[in-house]
Chains A and B, each alone.
Chain A
Amino acid sequence: MKKESDEMGLELRGLKKILGGRVIIDDLDLRVEQGEMISLLGPSGCGKTTTLRMIAGFLTADAGQIMLAGKDVTQLGPDKRPSAMVFQNYALWPHMSAAKNVAYPLKIKGLSKVEINEKVEAALELVKLLHHKDSRPGQISGGEQQRVALARALVQEPDVLLLDEPLSNLDAKLREKVREDIRELQRRLGITTVIVTHDQEEALSISDRVAVMNSGRIEQFSSPQDLYRHPATEYVATFIGSLNRFEGELVDGQIRSGEGIVGIRPEDLVIAQNYIEGSHQGTVELVIPRGHFYEIVVRRHDGLFRAFMNENVPALGESVHVGIKKSLRYHNGKLVA
């Protein structure tokens, strides 16, 4: 099903949306490669769902252009766009069986009964739910409903698959499983996919690239590794993962007063019992077991440092040396070094 094409899977150019007099999306640009899976990540109200709804056609853009698989769809309604959406609450029609839900878009396309049956069975097989084809949505679990919704979207063979917080209604264990299923299916089908989520773990683990959004703009659009290791803005650095954040500058391994922000990832700290080069002494204030590792909070004369350790964990109140392997420096919110 993967399309061999030089076209972009999805392209947003200067997208803008104003709702109730408030600018929700402001001059947003985004280019998603064909077959790529990306996440729109951000807190509530950052505009990620509005962006997705504009891509799907449920909201019209006040300015800008939306290209799906090389076609300008900005003025088209959702029924005319080559995209399919999986809704947050699945949005399965309760009066139809799983098979009828999946068959509905094919029926609209006017396919023959034989073709519909074949495609529906293949789609349900794909999500491993063929045995539930006659069940109604109310008779199956949340995870299964999610998979039926996914089958209904996939059976349309869309150019772009849109997923709106698809895992938010599932419990933690099931979330992980469905997440893996979605990723595996997406890879297999090579379908351009946009997933909206506020859960950074979900975004980082499922996506080829993640667009971190803030107040209607994309702060950074990079691979999960790049986002974590080289956050372009202070906002991204604090939003993705944990960060020791200090106001001032880093001089000789110490935080000194000055302009800018210093950010240090917990794993970029070295905690040692004896002096190591560039380290400074501090006292362990907190030891929090986190399962397979410990979170240690050390107070130094220049501030509180949070680090992760999994061996030689110091005791509470113990005196240790804290060294800094790597730091990030931000000025006016932007990465400096």
Chain B
Amino acid sequence: MRSRKSTSTKRGFLVRKDEGPSLLGLAFSIPPLLLVLIFVGLPILIGLTFSLGFTSGPNRVVSLIGQQIHKKNHWWGTFAAYSDVIHDSRFLGDLGLTLFVTILSTILVILLSLSIALYQRLIGGKKSSLLVTLSIIPLFVPVVISAWAIHTFYGGDGFMRSFFSQFGINFPTLTSTPSAIVIGTVWTSLPFAILMISSGLQGIPDALIESAKDCGASPIRVITNILIPLAKTPIIIATSFTAIGILGSFTIPLFLGPNQPTMLGVEISNFFGSYNRPQQSLVMAFMVFMIASGIAIAYVWSNVKSARESGRI
């Protein structure tokens, strides 16, 4: 390690010394590290062992209460619970719906927020500010309230059907369909994505846009060649956080989605509570976790790549 220049002062405990990392710095990092290990790491580990059939220790009580519990038959455990889940057609349907809703909603959220943020960046003015303000309102509305609002809007006896029936049009009932979940997740995820992407685009200096125009770039080229590549990091953050949020969503699919198939967040709860199959619910949770981890890895990889490209690392 490159030695740091000594900044010796009389307030000795704040002094950065030449010899290696400070013990004090290490001491500061221990409490949050312990917190994460105890409250996140340990439950994951216990959950993983239970899903693999380790039914003693902290898993003893839940394995006594739960049904269709598989006990380990090798030193490393058993994949029986995983096999249960994978061969359950209900799970495959849920997984399909979860992935469909996650991908479609994320695409819609990013396209919508990018359009609004680009409109604000390139056109500006009062209209665009109003649009951004309106689009971040859902951030301040609890999800359960917005889910209910969407329900009363798109339900069988909701506003849309009542309104269109005045003109003799039979507007479809969207509640209890995947469409309602998509509408709900887009509505709740949009504010964060807009804030993220909009701040990224606002941070791009005017001169970088003007120099592109000066080189003969059309507005489309300015967007695709300059603005989007320069706002890549906030767009990736918004995409990955939106996708992970939708992947694990519960309230929206519970209120607005169909009973079967349903999204995995609801199904995990059903398996744990209603069907009393905690081991299978944990397996599903691990699968969702694996998909989310994949998104997180893509996010980290992209950040590292962009930092390397810009010479920050």
Select B311's contact among A58, A77, A104, A138, beta carbons within 8 Å: A138
Select B310's contact among A83, A95, A109, A156, beta carbons within 8 Å: A95
- Provide the bound-state CA to CA distance between A156 and B215, in Å: 8
A108 near B221 with CB under 8 A, answer yes
B214 near A79 with CB under 8 A, answer yes
A104 near B214 with CB under 8 A, answer no
Residue B37 interfacial (CB < 8 Å)? no
Which of A86-94, A231-239, A267-275 has 4 or more CB atoms under 8 Å from chain B? A86-94
Quick one: which of B211, B216, B217, B309 has the most chain A CB within 10 A? B211
Determine the interface band of chain B, counting residues with CB < 8 A from chain A.
20 to 34
- Provide the bound-state CA to CA distance between A317 and B310, in Å: 61
- Provide the bound-state CA to CA distance between A83 and B212, in Å: 13
Question: Cβ of B217: which chain A residues have Cβ within 8 Å of it?
Answer: 79, 104, 108
Interface residues of B in 49-108 (CB under 8 A from A): none
Select A93's contact among B213, B216, B230, B232, beta carbons within 8 Å: B230
Residue B218 interfacial (CB < 8 Å)? yes
Question: Cβ of B311: which chain A residues have Cβ within 8 Å of it?
Answer: 136, 138-139
B213 near A104 with CB under 8 A, answer no
B216 near A87 with CB under 8 A, answer no
Residue A206 interfacial (CB < 8 Å)? no
B207 near A89 with CB under 8 A, answer yes
- Provide the bound-state CA to CA distance between A85 and B309, in Å: 26
Question: Cβ of A84: which chain B residues have Cβ within 8 Å of it?
Answer: 214-215
B230 near A104 with CB under 8 A, answer no
| Chain B residue at smallest Cβ distance from A81 | B214
Cβ distance A252 to chain B, nearest Cβ, rounded Å: 57
| Chain B residue at smallest Cβ distance from A95 | B229
Question: Cβ of A17: which chain B residues have Cβ within 8 Å of it?
Answer: none
Select B225's contact among A57, A88, A94, A104, beta carbons within 8 Å: A104
Question: Cβ of A85: which chain B residues have Cβ within 8 Å of it?
Answer: 210-211, 214
- Provide the bound-state CA to CA distance between A92 and B208, in Å: 7
Question: Cβ of A93: which chain B residues have Cβ within 8 Å of it?
Answer: 208, 211-212, 226, 229-230
- Provide the main secondary structure of the chain B interface: helix
Residue A248 interfacial (CB < 8 Å)? no
B210 near A79 with CB under 8 A, answer no
Cβ distance B238 to chain A, nearest Cβ, rounded Å: 18
Question: Interface readout for A90-133 with B: 1 if CB under 8 Å, 0 if not?
Answer: 01111100000000110011000000000000000000000000
Tally of chain A residues near chain B (CB < 8 A): 27
| Chain B residue at smallest Cβ distance from A88 | B207
- Provide the bound-state CA to CA distance between A141 and B226, in Å: 22
Question: Known contacts A88-B207, A138-B310, A139-B311: does B230 contact A95 (CB below 8 Å)?
Answer: yes
Question: Cβ of B216: which chain A residues have Cβ within 8 Å of it?
Answer: 79-80, 105, 108-109, 156
B212 near A104 with CB under 8 A, answer yes
- Provide the bound-state CA to CA distance between A87 and B206, in Å: 11
Interface residues of B in 204-250 (CB under 8 A from A): 205, 207-208, 210-218, 221, 225-226, 229-230, 232
Select B211's contact among A77, A83, A91, A109, beta carbons within 8 Å: A91
Question: Cβ of A280: which chain B residues have Cβ within 8 Å of it?
Answer: none
Select A78's contact among B208, B210, B221, B226, beta carbons within 8 Å: B210
- Provide the bound-state CA to CA distance between A135 and B215, in Å: 20
- Provide the bound-state CA to CA distance between A286 and B202, in Å: 53
Question: Known contacts A89-B207, A91-B205: does B215 contact A105 (CB below 8 Å)?
Answer: yes
Residue A152 interfacial (CB < 8 Å)? yes
B205 near A89 with CB under 8 A, answer yes
Question: Cβ of A320: which chain B residues have Cβ within 8 Å of it?
Answer: none
B221 near A77 with CB under 8 A, answer no
A77 near B208 with CB under 8 A, answer no
Residue A204 interfacial (CB < 8 Å)? no
Residue A227 interfacial (CB < 8 Å)? no
- Provide the bound-state CA to CA distance between A83 and B211, in Å: 11
Question: Known contacts A93-B230, A136-B311: does B215 contact A152 (CB below 8 Å)?
Answer: yes
- Provide the bound-state CA to CA distance between A25 and B277, in Å: 78
| Chain A residue at smallest Cβ distance from B219 | A79
Question: Known contacts A94-B230, A95-B309: does B212 contact A87 (CB below 8 Å)?
Answer: no
Question: Cβ of A108: which chain B residues have Cβ within 8 Å of it?
Answer: 215-217, 221
B213 near A77 with CB under 8 A, answer yes
Residue A154 interfacial (CB < 8 Å)? no
| Chain B residue at smallest Cβ distance from A156 | B215
Question: Cβ of B214: which chain A residues have Cβ within 8 Å of it?
Answer: 56-57, 78-79, 83-85
- Provide the bound-state CA to CA distance between A83 and B225, in Å: 21
| Chain A residue at smallest Cβ distance from B221 | A108
- Provide the bound-state CA to CA distance between A139 and B225, in Å: 21
Cβ distance A108 to chain B, nearest Cβ, rounded Å: 4
A91 near B210 with CB under 8 A, answer yes
Question: Cβ of A152: which chain B residues have Cβ within 8 Å of it?
Answer: 211, 215
Question: Cβ of A58: which chain B residues have Cβ within 8 Å of it?
Answer: 210, 213
- Provide the bound-state CA to CA distance between A26 and B215, in Å: 29
| Chain A residue at smallest Cβ distance from B232 | A95
Question: Interface readout for B178-211 with A: 1 if CB under 8 Å, 0 if not?
Answer: 0000000000000000000000000001011011
Question: Cβ of A95: which chain B residues have Cβ within 8 Å of it?
Answer: 229-230, 232, 309-310
Select B309's contact among A77, A109, A136, beta carbons within 8 Å: A136
Given contacts A57-B214, A79-B215, A85-B211, 10 further A-B contacts (CB under 8 A): A84-B215, A87-B210, A88-B207, A89-B205, A94-B230, A95-B232, A95-B309, A104-B215, A105-B216, A108-B215
Taking beta carbons and an 8 Å cutoff, which residues of A are in contact with B? 56-58, 77-80, 83-85, 87-89, 91-95, 104-105, 108-109, 136, 138-139, 152, 156
A–B Cβ pairs within 8 angstroms, 15 of them: A56-B214, A77-B213, A79-B213, A79-B216, A87-B211, A88-B207, A93-B208, A93-B211, A93-B212, A104-B212, A104-B217, A138-B310, A139-B311, A152-B215, A156-B215
